Amino acid sequence: MSVTIPFPTTSPQRIAHLSAISHERIEPQSHGVFECTLTTVTPLCLKSHFAHVRLELPGNPPHAYLPGSSIRGAVRAMTEALGGGCARYFAPPPLPPRAVRTCDENGICPCCRIFGFAAERDTFAWASKVHFQDSDVAPVVWQKYPVPPFGGDPAAPGQGSGWLTFRHLPAPAHGARGEDCVDMGAVFPFRVRHHNLTPAELALFYHALTLGGLHHILGFGKRCGLGACKIEVTNPPSPVPNFAPHICVQAWTAIQQERA
């Protein structure tokens, strides 16, 4: 089911582009490659991608891989909610409150400093400082699961007053009909290249990536229990940065409730 994570009441840590650490050269800040694994906790449905994969990788035992863009989207959504991101990709109505107004070059929000944005409304753009590669090819088990059409459950309470997200639910039963899904228990290694993250950006990004062991939710069928995944990093930063000063406590409390 869908749920709403309330918007913050203040917009922390916005920085003008002239003083923000940028992306055009490697600075003596954090840079490197996180070696990660994504494990499916409930079945994962990436409809057209998996249809393509089943043609591209025939054979037995079956194999599949995940597009980096899917993993990136899930991590960006958590970074927006946790880090006081802006409503750049928020779909009104109603208009989001001032605390999450779309950022610009005079005050770039933490999420947009990390993930970048294209010049959509003006002439200013910012390149991403994190790059998600497609996962490695990994062995999988295909199962069919029913995936209800979009909007199959009631609107989340408080919709429009926060970030739309999804509650982690038990997996539905598989059947003879439905969409081809990668079943639970698949392990996909992947890499995230990062550069020029400030200590605060690294702390926020690393926590949004790993969620302290809680679940991300990817793909189709999020509302009915599909797509729960766990991301683990095999070479964490040392020491693991303290995320507490750099996240919205209210959002983290809500995510802990919804994603356990």
Q: Could you list the residues that contact Zn ion (CB under 5 A)?
A: 86, 103, 109, 112
Q: Tokens standing for 149?
A: 């059409």
Q: Is residue 126 within 8 Å of 113, Cβ to Cβ?
A: yes
Our CB check for Zn ion shows the closer of 182 and 204 to be 204
Our CB check for Zn ion shows the closer of 44 and 87 to be 87
The alpha carbon torsion through 102, 259, 170, 143 (nearest 10 deg) reads: 60
**Shortest distance in whole angstroms from residue 152 CB to Zn ion:** 31
**Shortest distance in whole angstroms from residue 190 CB to Zn ion:** 25
**Shortest distance in whole angstroms from residue 110 CB to Zn ion:** 8
Distance CA 192, CA 210 (A): 12
**Shortest distance in whole angstroms from residue 108 CB to Zn ion:** 6
Our CB check for Zn ion shows the closer of 112 and 211 to be 112
**Shortest distance in whole angstroms from residue 78 CB to Zn ion:** 15
Distance CA 90, CA 72 (A): 17
What are the angstrom distances between the C-alpha of 42 and each of 66, 96, 149?
Answer: 15, 32, 19
Which contiguous run of DSSP H or E holds residue 181? strand 179-182
Our CB check for Zn ion shows the closer of 10 and 238 to be 10
Our CB check for Zn ion shows the closer of 39 and 128 to be 128
Distance CA 2, CA 166 (A): 4
